[in-house]
Amino acid sequence: MNFNKDSLKIDAGRVAEELARSVRTQIRSKLRKTGAVVGISGGLDSSVVAALCVKALGPKRVVGIMMPEEDSSPDSQKLAQDLADRLGIETVVENITPGLEGLKCYSRRDEAIRQIFPEYDSTYKNKITISTNILEDETFNFFNLTIESPGGEEKTMRMPVSAYLQIVAASNLKQRLRMTMLYYHAEKRNYAVAGTGNKDEHEQGFFVKYGDGGADLKPIAHLFKMQVFQLAEELSVGHDIIGRIPTTDTYSAGSTQEEFFFGLDFFRMDMLWYAMENKVSSAEAAAVLGLTPHQVERGYANIQRKIDATEYLRMYPLEIE
Amino acid sequence: MAQKEKIRKDIRDFITKSFLTGDENENLSDSDSFMKEGIIDSTGVLELVSFLEKQYGFAVKDDEMTPGNLDSIDNLVIFISGKLG
């Protein structure tokens, strides 16, 4: 095949039309619902999904739900509201901080953080990052915890397994509570919940099972992030959203998706993944991406490891056969 | 030699207890890749490293977290023996 820097280019106008048609068919005929609820965060993916739902169903049958909590960036709600205003959709703001406090999300997380950094308290910020240099070092994927003191001093340590699991389990309560709120608003209107995950998140397992992974339809789960950018331009979601660095919006110190999970910029990751899927040789991919064949092979291996390791996230509950 | 065999047994016991059922243990050879066999993921690596640090009293540095050191029983025996000097 001919692999080149334009390999991820799509005919965004045609794709948007096709996706809108699919969304309409799925919601009306398959799910037998009358509209869509979308959790909007002011990020690229949720904005594109909201715009697609509007294209499919019209603005009166789409509701945008904003669900800030105490670690959310203040920009998120404003950008989400601006988008909703441009799309002409109804919005609902659900502050989920009290609900998360009821579930002891923050105290359970902070207890685990203090196993690593005893000085940590609510005046500090925190974030989780993945080990970097994925193309340079053949290392396992593992996670570091960073805390930032009120004075701006950062400390980073690799996490022992018990603390890591507790921090992730506590933080996942955020996505699961958001899913719960989305279904409340969907069910009371007889609407469907539209999921906002893209292919990078869906297939590499960067989502919470029964959290942001819980939805009735996932209209962009087959699209690379680089293709979602093209759709965003086509659907005019706004350059303030398109130009925003994708973050988890889950950790108070502001963790980008690249440093939290993917460990690579979206262009190189998506191009490597596309090349891997299409069986492009490491030498050919390396020439196009300005890498060495060895780096390409490491990139391929890293992506494949994430896909394999997160397979259970995409499984339905297992029944005895 | 006796020390290496003790390490080999400790590692196999840990891997069996933490990641395998009895049948899989019988089929795991000392040179099998944990990653390729799907035995260990990123959480499993953290568990393995926590075990090594507790059991042998040394710190595993970030740049030592490579498949060359950690991805099979054989690799682990060499890595641990080297760390213990």
Domain ranges of chain B: 2-84
Under an 8 A CB cutoff, do B66 and A142 touch?
Answer: no
pLDDT value of position B25: 62
Under an 8 A CB cutoff, do B38 and A308 touch?
Answer: yes
The most confident of the ranges A139-153, A249-263, B2-16 is B2-16
Is a pLDDT exceeding 70 seen at residue A232? yes
> How much is the mean pLDDT over chain A?
91
Residue A165: closest CA among A116, A98, A201? A116
Average pLDDT (A75-93) is: 95
Is a pLDDT exceeding 80 seen at residue A192? yes
Q: Which of A141, A143, A161 sits opposite B50 (nearest CB)?
A: A161
- Percent of chain A scoring above 90 in pLDDT: 70
Average pLDDT (B35-43) is: 79
Under an 8 A CB cutoff, do B42 and A137 touch?
Answer: no
Residue A138 binned pLDDT confidence (cut-offs 50, 70, 90)? low
Residue B27: closest CA among B70, B69, B73? B73
pLDDT value of position A130: 77
CATH class of domain segment(s) B2-84: mainly alpha
Residues of B in contact with A158 (CB under 8 A): 46, 49, 62
> What does the block give as tokens for A245?
């660095």
Residue A55 CA to residue A269 CA, distance in Å, equals 30
Q: How many residues does chain B have?
A: 85
Least confident residue range of A4-13, B23-32, B40-49: B23-32
Within a 13 Å sphere around the CA of A175, how many CA atoms are in the beta-carbon half? 22
User: What is the four-CA torsion angle of B31, B33, B34, B36, rounded to 10 degrees?
Assistant: -150
Q: What is the pTM of this model?
A: 0.89
Under an 8 A CB cutoff, do B45 and A164 touch?
Answer: no
pLDDT value of position B62: 85
Distances (CA, A) of B38 to A74, A122, A145, A304, B85: 41, 39, 26, 12, 31
> What does the block give as tokens for A157?
């340590």
Q: Which amino acid belongs to residue A254?
A: G
Average pLDDT (A102-119) is: 96
Residue B19 binned pLDDT confidence (cut-offs 50, 70, 90)? confident
Q: Is the ipTM of this complex over 0.90?
A: no
- CB neighbourhood size of A228 (10 A): 25
Pairing mode, if any, of strands A125-130 and A143-148?
antiparallel
* A321 or A169, higher pLDDT: A169
Q: What is the DSSP letter of A133?
A: -
Residue A39 CA to residue A208 CA, distance in Å, equals 14
- CB neighbourhood size of A216 (10 A): 19
pLDDT value of position A259: 62
pLDDT value of position A321: 84
Average pLDDT (A90-106) is: 98
> How much is the mean pLDDT over chain B?
87
Residues of A in contact with B45 (CB under 8 A): 140-142
pLDDT value of position B67: 86
> A235-280: per-residue pLDDT in tens?
999 888 888 777 766 677 666 666 666 677 889 899 999 999 999 9
Residue A64 CA to residue A84 CA, distance in Å, equals 7
Residue A64: closest CA among A28, A27, A97, A90? A90
Q: Is A40 helix (H, G, I), strand (E, B) or coil?
A: coil
Residue A130: closest CA among B48, B19, B45, B68? B45
Q: Is A128 helix (H, G, I), strand (E, B) or coil?
A: strand
Residue B35 binned pLDDT confidence (cut-offs 50, 70, 90)? confident
Least confident residue range of A84-98, A176-190, B60-74: B60-74
* B31 or A259, higher pLDDT: B31
Average pLDDT (A30-45) is: 96
Is a pLDDT exceeding 80 seen at residue B60? yes
User: What is the four-CA torsion angle of A203, A209, A213, A216, rounded to 10 degrees?
Assistant: 120
Q: Which of B35, B45, B67 sits opposite A142 (nearest CB)?
A: B45
Task: Tell me the residue ranges of DSSP E strands in A67-205.
Answer: 90-93, 125-130, 143-148, 154-158, 192-193
> What does the block give as tokens for B70?
């950690």
The neighbouring-strand residues paired with A148 are A125, A154
Average pLDDT (A205-225) is: 96
Residue B59 CA to residue A299 CA, distance in Å, equals 28
pLDDT value of position A155: 92
Average pLDDT (B53-63) is: 92
Least confident residue range of A15-19, A129-133, A154-158, A203-207: A129-133
Q: Is B82 helix (H, G, I), strand (E, B) or coil?
A: helix
Residue A310 binned pLDDT confidence (cut-offs 50, 70, 90)? confident
Distances (CA, A) of A151 to A123, A124, A136, A146: 10, 9, 33, 14
Is a pLDDT exceeding 70 seen at residue A112? yes
Nearest CA in chain B to A134: B66
Least confident residue range of A36-40, A217-221, B29-33: B29-33
Residue A31 CA to residue A39 CA, distance in Å, equals 19
Q: How many residues does chain A have?
A: 321
Residue A224 CA to residue A218 CA, distance in Å, equals 13
